[in-house]
Homo-oligomer: A and B are copies of this chain.
Amino acid sequence: MFLELDMAGDKPIYVQLKEQIIEGIARGSLRPGDDLPSVRALAADIGINLHTVNKVYQQLRQEGYIQIHRSRGVMIHPDGFLKADKTYRTNLKATLRPLIAEAIVHDFSAEEFARLSQEVYEQILTKEGGEDE
């Protein structure tokens, strides 16, 4: 796979792993119906513990990204896009709130914030790394 984990940094590796799988789905590297490695295989591949991978898979399943079958393994959810329901929108707004408050204090207009978001959007879809311009 396309995984790069920073074992030293502040961000927990299970969060990094989860985010990278979601980004893989977002940019189309992982497509609906695709198989994911077994918890043991992926853990061995990237040199972490089985339980760390399992925690990620459980969270991804609960949030609708993947399906898990008892002895057939794990796959990207075949239904394609997830529903952007009110719960999702409310949570996203709550997450954005402190980021946008920070941006305001840094003299960012809503338009500048939108422009920067647009850049990130395209970075993801064009499969660029996040190393900046």
Chain A residues with a Cβ under 8 A of chain B: 19, 22-23, 25-27, 65, 81-84, 86, 88-90, 92-108, 110, 113-114, 116-121, 123-125, 130, 132
- Complex CA–CA separation, A65 to B103 (angstroms): 12
**Min CB–CB distance A68 → chain B (angstroms):** 18
Dominant secondary structure of chain A at its interface with chain B: helix
Among B95, B97, B104, B118, which residue has its beta carbon within 8 angstroms of that of A114? B118
Contact A130 B98 (CB under 8 A): no
Asked if A117 and B108 sit within 8 Å, CB to CB, the answer is no
A107 nearest CB neighbor, chain B only: B81
Contact of A96 among B25, B94, B105, B117 (CB under 8 A): B117
Question: Looking at the complex, which one of B65, B84, B130 makes contact with A97 (CB distance below 8 Å)?
Answer: B130
Residues of chain B lying within 8 A (CB to CB) of residue A125:
104
